[in-house]
Structure 1
Amino acid sequence: VKPLDNIKAKLRLADECLTPKLLDESETQKNILYFEPHGVVAVIIPWNFPSSNFFITCTQLLLAGNTVVYKHSEECALTGKLLADIMEEAGFPKGVFCAVHGDGKVGDLLTDQDIDGIHFTGSSKVGHYLYEKAAKKFIPVVLEMGGSSPGVVFADADLDASCPNICHERFNNCGQICCALKRLIVHESIYDSVVSRMKMNIETMKVGDPMDKDTTVGPLVAKRQLDLLVEQVEDAKQKGATIVTGGSRVEGLDGAYYQPTLVTNTTPDMRIITEEVFGPVLPVVPFSAEEEAVALANETIYGLSAFVYGKDVDKMRSIAARIDAGQVSINGASYFSESSPFGGYKMSGMGRNDGRLGFDSATQKKVIAEPK
């Protein structure tokens, strides 16, 4: 979602979502619902979409009348400073928008202050910690955290359309997206065909300089992220997984590069299945029956997004309803839109950003009853 488009969409929704609403009216009185800001909200956002994450979160809070103290990731400090400068140049009154810069210790200090809410996007581990801090303060939180989103491919899926979409959903941004497709679950009758097609698609990807327009897969954010990814894949290898393509660091490039990787013969105890994998690695698992597919999709502590592929859209809708996820894509349809909220189930978070429900999270509700 382009930041400017997102801002324009929120401006269109603001009047609708923040205008007082008449709830009940009798001959003697009327009850009106008002939407009020929480107050001072701490916003902490990550590095993977440094501008989009910022505008998605901060714009709605500010439109609802909150003041914001925001901390960007230390991995993109200059972007964080640039965004803060843009907000200052926009002419916000002093104190309405403030920025602090630094690592997790600064975020910890920020959330120790006398604040009225926390909006956090990042890892489930940190989100859980902030949830505990918020509980002690008795303040509301919106948490958008990790994911291990399943992609379920049924026997009647259009593979010519589905496989390229799966590649995009897994390997875009080097796989460093919370809602990326991270586990591929394929009907056994088309399993070999899907693996073959995915291998072919993956091996056409160009790994290299992210500033090169021909590059498909760039580097990971940092060496520590590369080291973690190597550990996760090595764990799978040691437990008997098959590396169909990729499976190692990229030699000859200066940076945290890892080959786009396809893995089969996985087991439920492998880290690439049980953990969030923030990199260009895709495990593929077969299934035989619909119930098994749903069970495999839900066999995770996360519940952010899911993807289903099949020609019978009514069936896909039924499958989507049974998957524990905050948003589900059918046959590549995008769940990002002006009015759509974003958030997850289980350890993927609570509350919602974006859309009409984003304004709900950004406000307190007050009913005023008045005589006529």
Structure 2
Amino acid sequence: MTLQRPASITDAFLQKLVSRVPSTSGGTWKLTEVYSGEVLVELPQSTPADIEQAFASARKAQHEWAKWPLSKRLAVFKRAHKLFLDNAVTTTDLIQVESGKNRRMAIEESCDPPMVMSHYIKRAPKLLASTKRGGPVPFLTTSTEIRQPKGVVGVIAPWNFPFATGMSDAITALIAGNGVVLKPDNKTALSPLYGISMLEEAGLPKGLFQVVCGEGPDVGPTLIDNANYVMFTGSTATGRVIGERAGRNLIGCCLELGGKNPMIVLDDANMDETVQGAVFGVFGNTGQICMHIERIYLPESRYDEFKTKFVAAAEALKVGASYDFGPEMGSLVSPDHKDRVQSHVEDAVAKGATVVTGGKARPDLGPAFFEPTILEGVTKDMLAGATETFGPVVALHRYSTVDEAVALANDTEYGLNASVWGADLSRAESVARRIESGNVNINDILATAFASKGTPSGGVKQSGVGARHGDQGLTKYTDVQNLAVLKKQVMGARPGQDYDAYVKGMLSGLRMMRKTRIR
């Protein structure tokens, strides 16, 4: 039976979306429906000249946007918040058709930008307000911290959550008064393009938010060379390249990179809840979540209990291609990525690992489907043991002591996310604090940390630099101007005053300020 696409995905609608992408002589890229492999639309590809022009247009619009009072800027996002929720179903259709994820994950992704808007609409007035402080001489000097937008921010969004990351990161930069040039992945450019159209419908000035498309090596260098700041989500290898180029240009960057995320199950964990969490943590979004779980560490005393229940739950998952809420797991993003995931499993088996369940592609379901897969006996000399697989594949490991579990969890170059499960919350928190990770969830996999928009979320070690969310998620898109005022000329010896006497008085004044807590 032929899969029926959502009614919203018409040729005219798709053509209107991609017409926003500048392309003078860059050709096109065949953007396909993942479930079937059929071409949806020819996506224009941007040349270096197109990218330079996009920055010029965004910069011109940004000069005016930055002059708007913050209240006027925030009014745009108050309107946008309603539009994003009113049109969540259409957004979900686009996310599904371009990425192949199941509908639950797609609708949840559509909710992230409204959550970010809601948080910063409330928080931005305080974070972006000027702060007046005292200067070096009490009462006669002041120093004011003024937050100013950086200019035009380059946002490079990944294919696994193109709408959540591409739009949410851009929205925060825009609230701070910047322009944005977004580069989505070619495979998943449709949903962010739709997001931009909704922002403009809400009153965002046209030209302020540009989008360019192309393969990373073709687009990235010109984008970084023209940006005032770069926000990137993707692989550690690419992050190193971006960070190096940004450094040469003396601009800042925020990098959320790869992970090999561990889950530690303590011996007092509620096993039914733990298994349910692990199913989402491993197989949610078909394992294509930056914060998803690839390693599970289990106490000897409960290993077999967890394994039995987890394998049964994995084998019961409904996997398929559908634009309704039936399937619990969808497709991988592309046949190429399916081949990469399969190569990790085959490498592990060749080196001695055992497939407990799954381990095979499912061409009967679509060109990029792969079974939920559980492995045992995975070691660090295997691809699946040391590098990010980024698919529905997990390795089970035993441990004897909690100290051993923590050491195993930390035995990686990555540090993006981790999960600890246990009934004694105080004990679980004590374990969590020992894990070298930017995010650690207790009795949850990732949602509690990532959805807490008031707290920064980022990686440590080779999992990134900087963070999104929290106060720094907004202030990173600003520069600080220190506006200092001297009300009376007292910074130096008075005319005719002996300098030794001046120094003596200065030192005495510093002692007095310390005692009186003026400084």
Give the TM-score, by structure 2 length. 0.69
Which structure dedicates a bigger proportion of its chain to helix?
2
Aligned partner of 1:164 in structure 2 is 276
Q: Cα offset for 1:110? A: 3.4
Q: Distance in 2 between matches of 1:328 and 1:23?
A: 36
Q: Cα offset for 1:369? A: 2.2
Aligned partner of 2:267 in structure 1 is 155
Deviations 1:58-91 (A, max 9, x none): 1111111111111111011222332333333333
Matching of residue 17 in structure 1 with residue 140 in structure 2? no
Give the alignment of 1:170-209 within 5 angstroms.
170-209=282-321
Q: Cα offset for 1:155? A: 0.8
Contact in 2 for aligned 1:210/1:217 (Cα 8 Å): no
- Aligned to 1:321, which of 433, 439, 446? 433
Q: Cα offset for 1:143? A: 0.4
Q: Distance in 1 between matches of 2:162 and 2:222?
A: 19
Q: Which ranges of 4 or more aligned residues in structure 1 deviate by more than 4 Å?
A: none
Unaligned runs of 5+ in 1: none
Aligned partner of 2:212 in structure 1 is 100
Which structure dedicates a bigger proportion of its chain to strand?
1
Matching of residue 2 in structure 1 with residue 2 in structure 2? no
Aligned partner of 1:131 in structure 2 is 243
Deviations 1:347-371 (A, max 9, x none): 1110111121201311122222224
Q: Cα offset for 1:40? A: 1.6
Q: Distance in 2 between matches of 1:110 and 1:99?
A: 13
Q: Cα offset for 1:272? A: 1.0
Q: Cα offset for 1:296? A: 0.8
Aligned partner of 2:337 in structure 1 is 225
Deviations 1:85-124 (A, max 9, x none): 3333333334422111222134324335332111111111
Greater Cα radius of gyration, structure 1 or 2 = 2
Q: Cα offset for 1:22? A: 3.0
Q: Cα offset for 1:330? A: 0.5
Deviations 1:5-57 (A, max 9, x none): 22111111111211122333632232222212111211110121121112320
Contact in 1 for aligned 2:167/2:195 (Cα 8 Å): no
Q: What amino acid is the match of 2:130?
A: P
Q: Cα offset for 1:251? A: 4.3
- Aligned to 1:343, which of 458, 461, 464? 458
> Does the residue aligned with 1:57 lie in a helix, a strand or coil?
helix
Q: Distance in 2 between matches of 1:192 and 1:258?
A: 25
> Does the residue aligned with 1:322 lie in a helix, a strand or coil?
coil
In the alignment of these two chains, the number of paired residues is: 372
Larger mean Cα displacement after TM superposition, 279-288 or 29-38:
29-38
> Does the residue aligned with 2:471 lie in a helix, a strand or coil?
helix
- Superposition RMSD on alpha carbons, in Å? 1.7
> Does the residue aligned with 1:190 lie in a helix, a strand or coil?
helix
Contact in 2 for aligned 1:342/1:352 (Cα 8 Å): yes
Give the alignment of 1:18-57 within 5 angstroms.
18-24=128-134, 26-57=138-169
- Aligned to 1:358, which of 460, 473, 479? 473
Q: Distance in 2 between matches of 1:96 and 1:136?
A: 26
Q: Distance in 2 between matches of 1:119 and 1:61?
A: 10
Contact in 2 for aligned 1:73/1:80 (Cα 8 Å): no
Unaligned runs of 5+ in 2: 1-110, 488-519
Q: Distance in 2 between matches of 1:338 and 1:16?
A: 16
Matching of residue 246 in structure 1 with residue 358 in structure 2? yes
Q: Cα offset for 1:291? A: 1.6
- Aligned to 2:403, which of 291, 296, 300? 291
Larger mean Cα displacement after TM superposition, 342-351 or 93-102:
93-102
Contact in 2 for aligned 1:40/1:68 (Cα 8 Å): yes
Matching of residue 370 in structure 1 with residue 485 in structure 2? yes
Give the percent of matched residue pairs that are identical in Structure 1 and Structure 2.
36
Q: Distance in 2 between matches of 1:160 and 1:342?
A: 28
> Does the residue aligned with 1:368 lie in a helix, a strand or coil?
strand
Q: What amino acid is the match of 2:348?
A: A
> Does the residue aligned with 2:291 lie in a helix, a strand or coil?
coil
The structure, 1 or 2, with the larger RCO (C-alpha pairs under 8 Å, 6+ apart) is 1
Q: Cα offset for 1:334? A: 0.8
Q: Distance in 1 between matches of 2:324 and 2:330?
A: 9
Aligned partner of 2:195 in structure 1 is 83
Q: What amino acid is the match of 2:334?
A: A
- Aligned to 2:223, which of 111, 115, 126? 111
Aligned partner of 1:334 in structure 2 is 448
Deviations 1:310-368 (A, max 9, x none): 12222222221111111100011711213021110111110111121201311122222
Contact in 1 for aligned 2:154/2:224 (Cα 8 Å): no
Contact in 2 for aligned 1:116/1:140 (Cα 8 Å): yes
Aligned partner of 1:280 in structure 2 is 392
